[in-house]
Amino acid sequence: MRRGARRIPRVPEVATAFALTFLGASSLDAQPLTLLTTTDGPALTSQGPIENEEILLLPSSSNGVEQLISSRAWAILLGDADGNGRLDDEPTEIDALAPIPGTTRLSIWDLAFSLDVDRPLRAGRVLRDGDLLRLTETGQIEVLFSEEEIAGALATFDDVDLDGACLLPDGSLIFSLGGNIITLSPGLAADNGSPLIDDHAVLMLTPGAPRAHVLHSGLEMIAMANRALGTSYVSLIDVQGLEIDPHGSGEDLLFATGLRNTPGAGTVLTTRDGGRVAHLYGRPLVPATFGFVDSEDLNALALVPCATPPPSLRLLTPEVSAAGDLDIEIGCGGPGRRGRLLASSLTGTKVTTETIPGLGGAGLLFLDRSDALFRSSLRSPKTWFRADGSGRARVTLAPPGKLAGTSLVLQAFVQETREASYPVLVRVTD
């Protein structure tokens, strides 16, 4: 996208309650919200292992995080982004997440994100770790804020990596950095108390402003964390995730630190009252609430004003051979719901997508309707499922022998809600 042609919708009069909160106008206690996060490295929950590129959601009703976007979904959503002929383009890590202002759905299409390392794409294009990106439903990757633009706003020649990000309805960006930088701007240095802007500082860039300004210096953030945790840390390693605090009365921010295996790790803090442990759904945002077995560090924070995730599709069998069974768990969003699992073969690296009118949730069909496997999955009674009392269903499929060495795309459809899961990629071994 051209610089200056930013496509963040401005929605002042129907601003999400986030914006109202940020402007000090209301409290969000009644707003249905879902917290999204990512981890800095692979993690283990009571439900099983998670990878660091997965986007996790913490539902108000559950005992831990669940997948919104799995690594197997990323492979399909991004397609063959680097043009090497393989669907191997999962991001290494998502280190910033920010809902597009005005969204009311829990959807990858309405989530801005940043990568943790530079990523070369085809035709010489590179996604920078300092870019704030957005994936479109047509498979394009838009740059909402470029690394160059952020470095310019910081007046620095140092490398910039966006580590925490939060978007406001007026187009402003609140952010933190993955590493320290030196600013050449005397005004910004004075604002920060030093030309060294460290990776704990929280900054804000407003539309049209030539420079970012400091909301909280690094020392302030460390002091607020120590107050919240009763600790005396001189470093939090990093301020890794940022979001507006829905329970704050003004410009309060939720933040996640880089602390790991030490008191305060895996805990969301808030700048409210000079530093507290954050609460959501009436619970403290601590490792046990997330269901982490260890105290993982949280790499991104995002609150979406929607309490209904799309159906989920999780492979319980990491690898499947043509002779073996593929066990799949489907999150149906409610007990007793019926639906079906559909599949198509993947030939080459082309993943067809089409919009189906009336289809909610993830909202796109990624399956090839002309494929023989799709037609047989449509006919087979084995692809039907019904959710148990917890809203989950299990399906076991046995890939036919002729599929050995091929890849499949799977998607679940829930009949009652006309919702689709994100697709997952399954490689069938020989």
**Is the Cβ–Cβ distance between 243 and 228 less than 8 Å?**
no
Q: According to the binding rule CB under 5 A, does residue 129 interact with Ca ion?
A: yes
Count H helices and E strands in the chain, helices first. Answer: 7, 36
Alpha carbon distance 67, 58 (integer Å): 9
**Is the Cβ–Cβ distance between 21 and 27 less than 8 Å?**
yes
Residues 7-66 that bind Ca ion (CB under 5 A): none
The single residue among 51, 53, 54, 80 that binds Ca ion, judged by CB under 5 A, is 80
Q: How far is the CB of 280 from Ca ion (least distance, A)?
A: 19
Applying CB under 5 A, the span of 17-25, 150-158, 273-281, 292-300 interacting with Ca ion comes to 292-300
Q: Closer CB to Ca ion, residue 95 or residue 243?
A: 95
Alpha carbon distance 182, 159 (integer Å): 10
Alpha carbon distance 339, 415 (integer Å): 5
**Is the Cβ–Cβ distance between 236 and 213 less than 8 Å?**
no
**Is the Cβ–Cβ distance between 229 and 267 less than 8 Å?**
yes
The single residue among 90, 163, 243, 245 that binds Ca ion, judged by CB under 5 A, is 163
Q: According to the binding rule CB under 5 A, does residue 114 interact with Ca ion?
A: yes
Q: Closer CB to Ca ion, residue 107 or residue 240?
A: 240
- DSSP letters along 284-352, please? E-SHHHHTBSS-PPEEEEEEES---PPPEEEESSSSEETTS-EEEEEE-SSTT-EEEEEEEEE-TT---
The single residue among 142, 148, 159, 251 that binds Ca ion, judged by CB under 5 A, is 159
Total residues in contact with Ca ion, by rule CB under 5 A: 17
The single residue among 86, 122, 369, 386 that binds Ca ion, judged by CB under 5 A, is 86
Q: Closer CB to Ca ion, residue 292 or residue 374?
A: 292
Applying CB under 5 A, the span of 70-78, 232-240, 288-296, 399-407 interacting with Ca ion comes to 232-240
Q: What ranges make up the beta strands (E) of 347-404?
A: 354-355, 360-361, 364-365, 384-386, 392-397
Q: Closer CB to Ca ion, residue 129 or residue 191?
A: 129
Q: Closer CB to Ca ion, residue 85 or residue 282?
A: 85
What is the x/- site pattern for Ca ion, positions 329-368, by CB under 5 A? ----------------------------------------
Q: Closer CB to Ca ion, residue 161 or residue 245?
A: 161
Q: How far is the CB of 174 from Ca ion (least distance, A)?
A: 13
- DSSP letters along 28-50, please? -TTS--EEEEEESS-EEETTEEE
Residue numbers of the site for Ca ion (CB under 5 A)? 80, 82, 84, 86, 88-89, 95, 114, 128-130, 159, 161-163, 240, 299
